[in-house]
Amino acid sequence: MKFSTISRKYPAFRDDKFKNPQKWLQDKQIDDNAETLWRVHDKIYDLSNFIEHHPGGRNWLEMTKGTDITEAFETHHIHGTAEVILENFYVGDAKLERNYKVTFHSDGFYKTLKKRVALKLSNHVNQSPLKSMSKTFCDLTLAATFLAFILVSRDFNFPTAALAVFSLFSLTIISHNFLHQRDNWRMYLVNFSTQNYRDWRIFHVLSHHLYPNSYHDLEIILVEPFLNWMPIKKYSRYFYYFMSPFVYILVLSGSCVIRIVGAFRFNYKLYWDEILPLSIPLAMYLFGNFGMVDTLLLWYGIIMMTSFIYAFFAFNGSHHHNKIFHDGDELESMDFGIYQLAATFDRAELQKNQFLTLTTFGHHIAHHLFPTLDHSVLPELSELIHDTCKEFETELSVYPWYELMIGQFRQLGREKPRQIHLRSR
């Protein structure tokens, strides 16, 4: 059946043969009723003259022209300044209703929590020292990654290879913290794993974060038909179990292949920072003991191992337990925050360690609710989020890691949509 629980239209993108982040944005323009400009709730804005002045960087507004940016706008601005500025660019009311059914009522769960978070951040939490720890961790991991790859190319053995894999894995996830924020140089570090920060901002920030586990979520759609967590399946669970390790190994370099194919077949633009990942094999070649071909093979081998561990964490960590919402399931409330709680679980372990929070997608629910906040600030919000959940008679789901993993494999076999019980008043 072709429908999505969270939107009125079934995404145009689903019927494309070659799926990639740029095409996702183009097709979103068809679905979003944004009248070639920018839509926020039921109003249309012309932000063309604001692109250059946007404090978060020009990239966000450039990419989203012609689409409904309600979810992005609400989640990326906590303090209310953006709402005031937005009104300067109002051009008229939207002619058609919003495609997405998710709501942001001012007395609903998400907006209530957001007001409380804004107050707490202004009055009680000094973010600067915490944020600078994140930057220090990130910079040390960057240095460790280069050092580890050079060590591998001088003396290839299990400990040096493991060090290279774990430092690149950590670097990839730490840099994810920074690409959610205003433009900064650390966002480019995600490129070292052969991915690209612009694509990440589409498939992860604008697609996965805003519409998790739905047919609008590119992180799910891009691995189909090899993996499928939606309740409506094409193949048996055994096919997906068999394919899992192959998908895990190829996830990182696969995104690079998608970009190259997009550039040659569809004329998508390639940027200077696409060549950043090659600085690692270059350093290995200059300082190591291997020839050029062996260096490249060694580098790619480590990328594949990193990819396996990265995908293992990403797919088993927070979104695909069989009790989690997946498109086709019914939701009891369409409040944006309640939807995020239904589509995201937290891991019980290691919640207090800042380095591990940064490198393993920790405090994932809080991160989904307020993605621009540095991961170091998220533990400070735990109590507030718990209290607000209680008040709205809803809950955070926290599971031990092994249960999330078992649930993910069960979800690969779940074939019936069901109602997700997360109440909210």
CB of 48 to ligand HEM, least distance (A): 11
Largest interatomic CA distance in the chain: 65
Q: How many Å apart are CA 420 and CA 111, to the nearest integer?
A: 22
What interhelical angle do 279-287 and 292-317 show, nearest 10?
140
Q: Enter the DSSP assignment of 103.
A: B
Nearer Cβ to ligand HEM (70/411): 70
Query: From the list 182, 233, 323, 410, which residue makes contact with ligand HEM (rule: CB under 6 A)?
Result: 182
Closest C-alpha to 175, from 210, 147, 213, 135: 135
CB of 147 to ligand HEM, least distance (A): 30
C-beta atoms surrounding 153 within 10 Å? 24
109-128 binders of ligand HEM (CB under 6 A)? none
Task: Count CA atoms closer than 13 A to 37's CA, side-chain side.
Answer: 20
CB of 9 to ligand HEM, least distance (A): 20
Query: From the list 30, 86, 147, 282, which residue makes contact with ligand HEM (rule: CB under 6 A)?
Result: 86
Q: Are 327 and 214 in contact (CB under 8 A)?
A: yes
CB of 115 to ligand HEM, least distance (A): 14
* Non-local CB neighbours of 89 within 8 Å, separated by 6+ positions: 38, 45, 46, 47, 49, 50
Question: Binding marks (x or -) toward ligand HEM, 44..83, rule CB under 6 A?
Answer: ---x--x---xxx---xx--x----x--xx--xx-x-xx-
Nearer Cβ to ligand HEM (51/163): 51
26: amino acid identity, one letter: Q
Question: Binding marks (x or -) toward ligand HEM, 361..400, rule CB under 6 A?
Answer: -----------x----------------------------
215-254 binders of ligand HEM (CB under 6 A)? none
331 forms beta bridges with 420
What is the token pair recorded at 356?
């591990």
CB of 92 to ligand HEM, least distance (A): 16
Binding residue count for ligand HEM, defined by CB under 6 A? 22
**Helix, strand and coil in the chain, % to nearest 5:** 60, 5, 35
CB of 87 to ligand HEM, least distance (A): 8
CB of 66 to ligand HEM, least distance (A): 11
Identify the three-state secondary structure at position 69. coil
How open is the CA angle 272-278-280, to the nearest 5 degrees? 130
Backbone φ and ψ of 4, nearest 5°: -125, 135
Nearer Cβ to ligand HEM (326/367): 367
Nearer Cβ to ligand HEM (72/358): 72
| Nearest residue relative to ligand HEM (C-beta) | 56
What is the token pair recorded at 399?
């599971």
Q: Is 98 a binder of ligand HEM (CB under 6 A)?
A: no
Rule CB under 6 A: which residues touch ligand HEM? 47, 50, 54-56, 60-61, 64, 69, 72-73, 76-77, 79, 81-82, 85-86, 89, 181-182, 372
